[in-house]
């Protein structure tokens, strides 16, 4: 492997890391709160799930979560964004 190959590899690696960090930031925002009560705090298992950047739409974090507020059991993927939760709560209150 020559220096040009190494430079190309390092560039692709950095690009991949940036793409992963951006995806995970968005994923965490979209799966942030308990789907039942909207609380952020929870306990969770810590299994690592493989992220494939070519199929990022298929990624699911299936760690088991328990909400510390209401006790609801769900997966990390079933958690929802604060915005989504607040919209549904407002919709239920207004009827």
Mean pLDDT of 77-87: 95
Q: Which of 61, 57, 36 lies closest to 47, judged by CA?
A: 61
- Residue 87 confidence (pLDDT) above 80: yes
Q: 15-72 pLDDT, tens per residue?
A: 999 999 999 999 999 999 999 999 999 999 999 899 988 899 999 999 999 999 999 9
Q: Give pLDDT tens digits for 47-60.
A: 989 998 889 999 99
What's the confidence (pLDDT) of residue 8?
84
Closest Cα partner for 16 from 56, 44, 49, 57?
56
Do residues 69 and 39 make contact, with C-beta atoms less than 8 angstroms apart? yes
The answer, yes or no, to whether residue 92 has pLDDT greater than 90, is: no
């Amino acid at each position: 492997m020559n220096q040009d190959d190494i430079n190309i590899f390092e560039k692709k690696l950095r690009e991949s890391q940036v793409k992963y960090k951006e995806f995970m930031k968005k994923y965490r925002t979209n799966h942030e709160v308990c789907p039942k009560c909207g609380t952020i705090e929870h306990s969770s298992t810590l299994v690592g799930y493989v992220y494939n950047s070519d199929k990022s739409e298929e990624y699911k974090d299936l760690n088991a979560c328990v909400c510390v507020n209401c006790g609801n059991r769900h997966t990390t993927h079933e958690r929802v964004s604060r915005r989504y939760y607040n919209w549904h709560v407002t919709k239920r209150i207004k009827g």
